[in-house]
Amino acid sequence: MSSVDLTVPPLTQLTEDEQMLKEAASDFAETVIKPKVQEMDEAGRLDPDLITQFFEMGLMGIEVPEKYQGGGGSFFMGIVAIEQISRVDASAGVFMDVQNTLVNNAFLRWGSEEQKQQWLPLLANEKVGAYCLSEAGSGSDAFALKTTARKEGDSFILNGSKLWITNAKEAEIFLVFANVNPKAGYKGITAFIVEKNFDGFSVSKKENKLGIRASSTCEVILEDVSVPMENVLGEVGKGYKVAMETLNEGRIGIGAQMIGIAQGAFDASIAYTKERKQFGKSISEFQGVQFQLARMATDIETARLLVYNAARMKAAGQPFLKEAAMAKYYSSEVAESVSSLAVDLFGGYGYVKEYPVEKYYRDSKIGKIYEGTSNMQLQTIAKELLKG
């Protein structure tokens, strides 16, 4: 009988570097972000000083190599940091998530050496990026986009509008997807690097949202925006590959955000049930409450394993499409169910803004919607299973 290797570390065990970043991100979230959370949520905007501190902490370029003035870390390290920030505030979590898993990753994967040298140091140290794919008529059907790019000399002229763009108010660098040949369908889609100060480019209204309220979500308008040829990211007509492959990585980031929300709601519930007394003892002593806490903890750990597994597979260069979809789908389910249970455990206090769990509940809902709805994740999982 073959021996069993008992030295294999658990999936959630972190390396020394990963643990150091986790602790740094957690401390930053508790000491710097937490005092600002309620005010930012009510104002519907991130504190500008906080944005500067994100860059100073190195949280906006975690995976950017040191030669481009980034942190030189791994994709998994970014996921760990997103989870810790989201445990305190999901708006701050998605702010750094989009920068790391979508914008920076797109440059790292598809950018030329010249583009990397020009843009990555800015993204890692001072300028916020945004990812502009969705439109009013193209959400789940991302390739139905109507924004066009017309070749004119050494430039492309972009016209159209984008909707639901995260970080749009703060961003200075935008990855915009437009079609250079609408008759070719998705094969005409191309990714462009657009700067906020380009003539004809503007950021319109900020949406007034249910949750992640401090995170800006805006419409972006392009009216005869001239973009130089050298600002094409990847190849002309290959924007669909840039979009889909980047979003696969981004979904792991959303998974990290969701387990952060769930963990934050759970931590608040543990503390509250120990303090709250009814019938002469803390409610944590009642078996009914204990069972709910046990289910919450089990669901969170299951979701974390799925997210960490997908992140490890991506970092190792293995196929991870199905695993990313599973992680995003399940973690969003858990974030909503755990935060809802947290509201129940707090009772009347769970329904008021003086306590944190109503915000976790509001913030959790977006997980089933952005970067691919739950139904789209289920479709992806099913296709991958049936292929086998």
Tokens coding 72: 């030189």
Tokens coding 195: 């700067």
Residue 229 neighbours by CB distance under 10 Å? 12
Residue 167, judged by CB atoms within 10 A of its CB (0-12, 13-18, 19+), counts as buried
Tokens coding 152: 């004119």
Amino acid at 275: E
Going 166 to 172 to 175 to 177, the CA torsion angle's sign is: positive
Q: What angle do CA 163, 77, 375 make, to 5 degrees?
A: 40
Characterize the bridge pairing of strands 171-179 and 128-132.
parallel
The verdict on whether 371 is a catalytic residue reads: yes
Helices and strands of the chain, counted as H and E runs: 12, 10
In sequence order, the 6+-apart residues with CB closer than 8 A to the CB of 27 are: none
Give the CA distances from residue 229 to residues 180, 234, 328, 382, in Å, rounded to whole numbers and listed in that order: 12, 11, 35, 39
Catalytic residue among 18, 249, 371, 384: 371
Place of tokens 């462009």: 192
Longest dimension (CA), the chain: 80
371 vs 124: CA distance, rounded Å: 22
Specify whether the CB–CB gap between 123 and 58 falls below 8 A. Answer: no
Residues labelled as active-site residues: 371
